[in-house]
A and B are shown apart, each in its own frame.
Chain A
Amino acid sequence: MPLKLIVLAKQVPDTHNVTADAMKADGTVNRGALPAIFNPEDLNALEMALEIKDQTDATVTVMTMGPPRAANILREAMYMGADAGILITDRHFAGADTLATSYTLALGIKKVGDVSLILCGRQAIDGDTAQIGPQVAEKLGINQLTYVEEFVNVEKKSITLKRTLGQVSETVKTALPLLITVTSSANHPRTFGAKRLMKYKKARTAIEAEQEVRRSSTTGEYGMEILLDEIEQKKKSLKSKGLFFETWSADDVGADHEQIGLPGSPTKVKKVQSVVFAASELKKIEPNPEGIREMFIELIEDRTFG
């Protein structure tokens, strides 16, 4: 049996490149104006999974939880070399904190079944919490290794990895199944393969497939049955070509609705303040709060901060 690998990936707003267009007049960030990207360290996790695949006969499935447009990162993963993608999406997931998210992802991983290794980026750039990895591992009741920098080798039931935790660097051999979080220093993610891009740009989630059929269908409202049949045909055809992304809802993964989304999230956001730093030649700043505030506003506007 080939090793089954799952990479957990997240589509995130590109917070590291907050452009002037994305700043509102009041100094806050307009999230909608930021491009949605593949979370950078999740790409390092995917690269490590693909390295393992290159050396063994492992299969790599990328799983993401998010809105329907997160399908874009599944396609990108396919261009790089992943074997399959799964989208977990449901409006009931809205407002999920890391506990509710890890509960949901763990259910998705259980649904896949027999997974030997789960890889994720150390953290996502929109939240920077680094909590999903350890919490998914805990929910699955398996061991975790965070801050992994190098894959050494893998055997049937064990794996050897290098990691640095603070001031201690270790080469660790440990049992599978295991969850690891991968840092940006681990590797350089590969670029898209041209042939893979041509093929997998046609890959679709169930939601996308359905939308496309509805858009092109001429059957109208009297042909509901015909329409549903067309959708099924479309999905079947995508599946046969390996171009279908499994698309799971909360019920598909068997989620307890009390443990997902807002109800399943112990943490609440009480208040959000924009960092209004108060704004070259040498500019004299008065040593008082007003002066400093103005200087900070300028530094935000010219993108020195953020």
Chain B
Amino acid sequence: MAKQPENVLVFIEMEHGKVAEVSLELVCQARELADTLHVNVDTIVLSGMNVDICSQTIISYGCDTVYTVCDGRLEFYETLPYARIVSDFVRESKPQIVLFGATAIGRDIAPRVASDLRTGLTADCTDLKIGDHEDKKQKKVFKNILYQIRPAFGGNIIATIITPEHKPQMATVREGVIKLSAQEKKRKGTIKPFGNINWDAIPFINTVLERTIHEKKVNLKGASIVVAGGGGVASKEDFDLIKQLAATLGGVVGASRAAVDNGYIGKEHQVGQTGTTIRPKLYIACGISGAIQHRAGMDQSGKIIAINNDPEAPIFNVAHYGIVGDLHKVIPMMIKAYKGKS
């Protein structure tokens, strides 16, 4: 019998006809894992319409084969049809790892699929790695398995979870914890319809009486941790650092007016008099000089950490902790320290 390819599979989530950012992040992460394992990256896209252009985008971030299922009834996510198709696809393609975004949809479908396949699932991972595991009791070594790393117990501990004896190994991964790698526009890949579907057996049983689609909500006010970036962030790409730190700490991304004006992030993230006034337990100001308008929107925060390379920046007047230094170096240190790997 031919050996199964045991690829790394990513479930692609669509948002209004576009690939969700978290799915592209997962493709980048899957690429890394697949390179370590010397296998390919597969993705599966379920959509109400043609996804050829989206598929090319997915390939450009490191996917080898995009499997597509296009049918008008799949325009909006519904648990049973989506879970059935993905479970059947996994049974047929036999990946060793399956990744989902830890979004509302990812957290709805992934447990259903894992239960159907009788395998393990780790929720809300912040990091994934390949490594070995020695089971001392069984005197067995499991080679090249997936370390699924996640905060647990209300964020008070970091746990490494493994699924040594079951395939596939499944995880949902938080949005924003993986940095998008550079897009390779000319990267070649394959786009294939997944056709092995018995549509009569797919249960569409929900009737949607009303549906509203809203912009992504940013819950700055409700957040207990806000990580905000300002004009001191060098570029839009570097603003990902802010997002990564926020995701690592379980916080929400904020921004100063300068960051919004520079086009680093949407206005809904703006903190300050013209944006949102907040008082989280912890506010981390990264590269924000601290104009009065900004300070007025955040000076009531429980604890304020300011990172700025200008020791005279006014933000230090309201901060509890001041770090004079380059945020592009300091933030990765903070992420590392939080993950307890320092």
The yes or no verdict on A and B being binding partners is: yes
Residues from chain B with Cβ under 8 Å of A104 in the complex: none
Decide if A287 touches B338 in the complex (CB within 8 Å).
no
Whether, in the assembled complex, B210 has its beta carbon less than 8 Å from a beta carbon of chain A, the answer is yes
Distance between B303 CB and nearest chain A CB, rounded to angstroms: 5
Q: With A and B bound together, what is the CA distance between A267 and B206 in angstroms?
A: 32
Contact indicator A167/B213 (Cβ below 8 Å) = yes
Given that A129-B123, A143-B205 are contacting pairs, would A284 and B281 also be in contact in the complex, using a CB cutoff of 8 Å?
no
Check A97–B326 contact: CB distance below 8 A. no
Neighbour of A275 across the interface among B114, B156, B166, B215, CB < 8 A: B156
CB atoms of A166 and B210 under 8 A apart: no
Beta-carbon contact of B161 and A268 below 8 Å: yes
CB of B163 within 8 Å of the partner chain: yes
- Please state if A168 and B334 are interface contacts (CB–CB under 8 Å): no
- CB of B324 within 8 A of CB of A134, answer no
Between A and B, how many residue pairs show CB distances below 8 Å? Answer: 242
Q: Which of B163, B209, B329, B334 contacts A173 (CB 8 A)?
A: B209
Q: Which residues of A contact B241 (CB under 8 A)?
A: none
Whether the Cβ atoms of B120 and A265 lie closer than 8 Å is: yes
CB distance from A159 to the nearest CB of B (A): 11
CB within 8 Å for A98 and B116 given contacts A15-B153, A131-B111, A167-B214:
no
Contact for B321 among A133, A145, A285, CB less than 8 A? A285
**A289:B156 contact, CB within 8 angstroms:** no
Cβ-defined contact, A287 with B79, below 8 A: no
Q: Interface residue count for A (Cβ, 8 Å)? A: 77
Please tell me if the beta carbons of A98 and B206 are within 8 angstroms of each other in the complex: no
Inter-chain contacts of B122 with A (CB < 8 A): 267
A282 interface contact, C-beta 8 A: yes
Total contacting residues, chain B, CB less than 8 A: 85
Task: Establish whether residues A306 and B205, one from each chain, have CB atoms under 8 Å apart when the complex forms.
Answer: no
- Give A277-306 as 1s and 0s: 1 = Cβ < 8 Å from B's Cβ atoms: 110111111111101110110010010111
Q: How far is the CA of A288 from the CA of B336 in the complex (A)?
A: 11
Q: A169 is contacted by which of B214, B324, B329 (Cβ under 8 Å)? A: B214
Contact with A along B101-135 (1 / 0, CB 8 A): 00111011111101110111111100000000100
Q: Please state if A169 and B212 are interface contacts (CB–CB under 8 Å).
A: yes
Shortest Cβ distance from residue A249 to the other chain B in the assembled complex, whole angstroms: 23
Chain B CB within 8 A of A147 CB: yes
Which A residues lie within 8 Å of B208 (CB)?
A: 170-173
- Is B323 a contact partner of A270 (Cβ separation < 8 A)? no
Residues of B within 8 A of A282 (CB): 316-317, 319-322
Contact residues of A between 7 and 40, Cβ < 8 Å to B = 13, 15-16, 18, 28-29, 31
Specify which of A125, A280, A285 is in contact with B154 (CB 8 Å cutoff): A125
A304 to B224, CA, bound (A): 9
Contact of B155 among A13, A143, A306 (CB under 8 A): A306
Task: Check A277 against B338 for contact (C-beta < 8 Å).
Answer: yes
Contact A289 B165 (CB under 8 A): no
The residue from A29, A128, A134, A305 contacting B112, defined by CB atoms under 8 A apart: A134
Residue A205 interfacial (CB < 8 Å): no
Instruction: Across the interface, name the chain B residue whose C-beta is closest to A166.
Output: B104
B158 adjacent to chain A (CB < 8 Å)? yes
Give the CA-CA distance A168 to B160 in the complex, in Å. Answer: 33
Contacts of A166 in B (CB 8 A): 15, 103-105
CB distance from B278 to the nearest CB of A (A): 15
User: Which residues of chain B from 288 to 340 have a CB within 8 Å of any chain A CB?
Assistant: 302-303, 305, 307, 316-317, 319-326, 329-330, 333-334, 336-338, 340
Q: Is the CB of B111 within 8 A of A98?
A: yes
* Interface flag for B80 (CB, 8 Å): yes
B56 to nearest A CB, angstroms? Answer: 24
Q: List which A126-146 residues lie within 8 A (CB) of chain B.
A: 126-135, 137-139, 143-146
> A174 within 8 Å of B by Cβ?
yes
Which of B158, B212, B249 contacts A273 (CB under 8 A)? B158
14 pairs, A vs B, C-beta closer than 8 Å: A15-B154, A97-B120, A99-B121, A126-B154, A129-B123, A138-B112, A144-B112, A165-B104, A166-B105, A167-B15, A268-B161, A280-B320, A282-B317, A306-B154
**Additional A-B contacts beyond A145-B79, A275-B158, A282-B317 (11; CB < 8 A):** A18-B154, A29-B153, A125-B154, A138-B115, A166-B104, A166-B105, A275-B155, A289-B336, A292-B330, A292-B337, A293-B337
When A and B form their complex, which 10 residue pairs have the shortest distance between CB atoms, in order from nearest? A287-B325, A15-B154, A266-B120, A267-B120, A131-B111, A129-B123, A138-B115, A134-B111, A135-B115, A266-B166
Chain A interfacial positions (CB closer than 8 Å to B): 13, 15-16, 18, 28-29, 31, 97-99, 102, 125-135, 137-139, 143-147, 160, 164-175, 265-278, 280-289, 291-293, 295-296, 299, 302, 304-306
